[in-house]
Structure 1
Amino acid sequence: MTRNLFLANRIREVLLNGKWIANTNFKEQIINVNWEKAVQKIGNINSIAMLTFHINYYLDGLLKAFVNGKLEINDRFSFDLQPITSAEDWNNLVKDFISNAEKFANAVLALDNSRLDEIFIDEKYDTYLRNIEGVIEHSYYHLGQVVLIKKMFDLQ
């Protein structure tokens, strides 16, 4: 198996359809959450909507960087979710997330394997490989939070 295929499969696993590592995936966890629960906060914990936006922000930004060679996202904006006030707002975010997850997996699959070892935009960002692995690890981290938030709702 080529590295790009391996990485694309790992992205799909955590974001879209896998069960191996966490026995779930991001899509499975958010697809049936109603919008009121998605925006509900428990204490000072981020909401499910906020975490979904956060991961989607990076997927979208990296997809754009793959195309134009410019990294135009900034961590300080990664939680700047516009208010969600309806099921339509939430469903649009979920659809955008799923679409970007699929596009990101496909973009990684389309990368030439030699490109994985090249510098990503600037030396301070390390390689394409490191950034793609970072997306996977970061997504599992926040997937765990989403799962725990949903369990906390069940305790209320």
Structure 2
Amino acid sequence: MKTSSQLAERFREVLLDGKWIANTNFKESLSNINWQQATQKTGSLNTIAALTFHVNYYIAGLCNFFESGKLEIHDKYSFTFAPINSAEAWDVLRESLFENSEKFAKFIESFSDEKLNEIFADEKYGTYQRNIEGMIEHCYYHLGQISLLKKLTADY
């Protein structure tokens, strides 16, 4: 199996359909969370909705980079989103995450080994492969947080 296919499979595992590492994935974890639970504040922790937006922000931003060659995402905006005040707004956010995740995985699959070894946007960021692997790790990190928040907000 070529490297890009393996990376795309690992990415889909954490976001869409896998259970190997965390025994769950974003799609499964978020499927049974209502908008009230997603927006429930627990102390100073981020909400499930905020973490969902955050992950989607970076995935969408990287998809945009793959399409345009312009890296326009900034950490300071990665938690800036409109309030989730309804089931419909929560559904829109989740579906956006899942759609962008599949789009991202398809981009990964299209990359040659040569492309994976190219510099990503700027030399300081390393290669495409390093950034894709970083996104996978970033997603697992936040999936763990969401799993804990689900337990803390289970009454909603």
Q: TM-score range with shorter-chain normalisation?
A: over 0.9
Partner of 1:88 in structure 2? 88
Please state if 1:154 is matched with 2:150. no
Please state if 1:123 is matched with 2:123. yes
Partner of 1:45 in structure 2? 45
SS at match of 1:71: coil
Mapped partners of 1:14, 1:154: distance in 2: 22
Partner of 1:138 in structure 2? 138
How far 1:153 moved relative to its partner? 2.0
Please state if 1:58 is matched with 2:58. yes
Mapped partners of 2:154, 2:50: distance in 1: 19
Mapped partners of 1:23, 1:79: distance in 2: 26
Mapped partners of 2:96, 2:61: distance in 1: 13
How many residues get paired? 156
TM-score (norm 1): 0.97
SS at match of 1:121: coil
State the one-letter code of the partner of 1:65: F
How far 1:81 moved relative to its partner? 1.7
How far 1:139 moved relative to its partner? 0.2
Q: Which runs of 5+ in 1 are unaligned?
A: none
State the one-letter code of the partner of 1:32: N
Partner of 1:21 in structure 2? 21
Per-residue CA distance 1:46-74 (angstroms, 9 max, x = gap): 00000000000000000010111110000
Mapped partners of 1:22, 1:155: distance in 2: 23
Percent of residue pairs bearing the same amino acid type: 56
How far 1:155 moved relative to its partner? 7.2
Mapped partners of 1:34, 1:27: distance in 2: 13
SS at match of 1:83: coil
Mapped partners of 1:151, 1:84: distance in 2: 20
